[in-house]
Structure 1
Amino acid sequence: MANTPSGATVDKVKQDYDEQASMYNVLLKWPFGQLESQLFASAVGSDDFCRGATVLDIGGGTGLRARQALEAGAARVDVVDFSDEMMAVGRRDAEALLGPEESAQRLRWFHGDATKPLFGTTTETERVEGLAGLSPPYDVVMANWIFDHVDKPEVLEALWRNIAAAVKPGGRFIGVRACDPRCEAMSSGNSTIPSTGDGRPAIHLENASLEVSYSGSTEMHERHGFTDVEIEPCEKQGVVRADPGFWQLWINKPGFVVVKARKR
């Protein structure tokens, strides 16, 4: 989740994530955090496409979704993020939950900025080195919330180039993205950000999103070689079925969605 445009915005968001890394996982306790976890588990568990897969999690933060991919049967997940503090939390959690040996075998952590080429590029005038140790092509590439810190088309293109370069033909993409930030569900009780107890939000992050991302357009997917774009239905998730009235605004116009696609 922690990748943003270059320059001052990158520095600010990186600072936000570093400072709030220890509190970040508290979001799981709140309704929209529970819904995200259930939607993501449903998505990575469908068709068994994660079973035995190699996975790249771009902007993987504390590894919440990486661990869900492992639970769905992935053989290994490589996490790339630019916040060392987020990844430090992820390493501790993974070792506690999986054990040190399994964690080391199945989760690898890479410090990197996904707005830069992750796998290196060569042109007539220059050569850009990628992150050493990454091993494309992957069976699955995940990119959760990273499009929601982007305010420049060229940065969005850079992210999608990395996604497309990471996944093999026939492989899968899965990602969480924000929808219209002005939708009513985002200001209702089912998306309230937890408080520290003194009136301040526990989590505060700089956000920006281009319409081509939050509108539901499949333009970027198709431009970068992905097809069969689908949204994981929220109505089927346990937290929604348990209290459909509470979630009606979200069902009508969700605050975020989990998107799946296939590489041509």
Structure 2
Amino acid sequence: MPDVVKAEYAAEAANYDTFWSGDSAPFTRLDNELFISALGDAAGAVVLDLAGGSGIKARYAIDAGAVSVDIVDISQEMMREGQKKEAGLNRKVMRWFEADIAKPLEHLPLRPKYDIVLANWPFDHVENMAALEGMFQNIVSHLKPGGRFLGVRCCNPRAPAMGTGDLGVVFKDFKDVPGGVKFRYAFDSTGSDIEASSMEATFSGSTDIYEKHGLVDVQIEPYENAKTVQENPEIWASFLQEPGMALVKATMKASE
């Protein structure tokens, strides 16, 4: 699956920010607004963004006061798009590293520990539990005691609201796999269509895998904190009954 995901993101790199950085689609707004709400004040923070792609969330972190962000992603093309944006802003606060975040990252010149680690959507590109466990190991091995984790993940991919297209994205073509479900998601505004696979260990809402790896105070950012939900309650009625995604926030357990 990593090869498929890498190829598909490479093909969509030039269009990806059109969807995720914009505010035209309700799903885009929800994703970004929940992240900004959960992140809050990041003044002085050093951030690691796993599967950070073109740096959309990294730029929000810089806007919130972070002093630097290291991005690790499997797609050179996605990161190249982000590097172009940063060059246009004439700043050098981000570093970029190509790697599969489901595998050990010791070969990269990362910092020993970070104040904040981000992992937005990579849990929904795992082919098995071993890949998911690998991602969690990378999160906690680079997060300082008391540091913060933030990550967006699927809830039930088959949630009715995710199949209508009303939110600007469609989850479709489901196939049960050991421990989870494989599917595709498509962006209405760009025509992009990308393979995904989610394990029940995360999309079920269980906090067990987080706590197993030393993450505590695991919470979901309230959907009502997003302006789009406040301003357009009718659009979100079905979604709120059975959400299709969640922004999870947690803290790294302090050293004993």
Aligned residue type for 1:81: D
Look up the match of 1:240: 229
Look up the match of 1:249: 238
Structure 1 residue 94 displacement after superposition: 2.4
Look up the match of 2:167: 190
> Residue by residue, what CA displacement relative to the aligned partner does 1:99-129 show, whole Å, maximum 9, x if unpaired?
22x2x1x11111111111112xxxxxxxxxx
Look up the match of 1:126: none
Match of 1:88 among 73, 76, 80: 80
Distance 1:136 1:174 in 2: 19
Structure 1 residue 195 displacement after superposition: 4.2
TM-score between both structures, scaled by the size of structure 2: 0.88
Distance 1:13 1:53 in 2: 30
Contact 1:30 1:194 survives alignment (8 Å): no
Q: Determine if the alignment matches structure 1 residue 169 to structure 2 residue 145.
A: yes
Match of 2:28 among 19, 22, 33: 33
Contact 2:168 2:187 survives alignment (8 Å): no
Q: Determine if the alignment matches structure 1 residue 180 to structure 2 residue 156.
A: yes
Q: Percent identity?
A: 43
Q: By percentage of residues, which structure has more strand?
A: 2
Contact 1:55 1:76 survives alignment (8 Å): yes
Aligned residue type for 2:63: E
Distance 1:118 1:139 in 2: 18
Aligned residue type for 2:30: L
Distance 1:262 1:135 in 2: 19
Gaps of 5+ in 2: 170-185
Q: By percentage of residues, which structure has more helix?
A: 1
Q: Secondary structure at the match of 1:190?
A: coil
> Residue by residue, what CA displacement relative to the aligned partner does 1:177-226 show, whole Å, maximum 9, x if unpaired?
01101111101312434447xxxx62111111110111111111101001
Q: Secondary structure at the match of 1:87?
A: helix
Look up the match of 2:59: 67
Distance 1:69 1:247 in 2: 26
TM-score between both structures, scaled by the size of structure 1: 0.85
Look up the match of 1:147: 123
Contact 1:184 1:249 survives alignment (8 Å): yes
Root mean square deviation, CA, Å: 1.3
Matched ranges for 1:84-233 at <5 A: 84-96=76-88, 99-100=89-90, 102=91, 104=92, 106-119=93-106, 130-131=107-108, 133-188=109-164, 189-192=166-169, 193-195=186-188, 202-233=191-222
Contact 1:170 1:263 survives alignment (8 Å): yes
> Runs (4+) of structure 1 moved beyond 6 Å?
none
Q: Secondary structure at the match of 2:198?
A: coil
Match of 2:7 among 15, 21, 36: 15
Aligned residue type for 2:94: L
Aligned residue type for 1:109: W
Contact 1:227 1:262 survives alignment (8 Å): yes
Change (3 A) 1:195 1:226: closer
Distance 2:4 2:127 in 1: 14
Q: Secondary structure at the match of 2:217?
A: strand
Structure 1 residue 139 displacement after superposition: 0.5
Q: Determine if the alignment matches structure 1 residue 55 to structure 2 residue 55.
A: no
Distance 1:209 1:194 in 2: 18
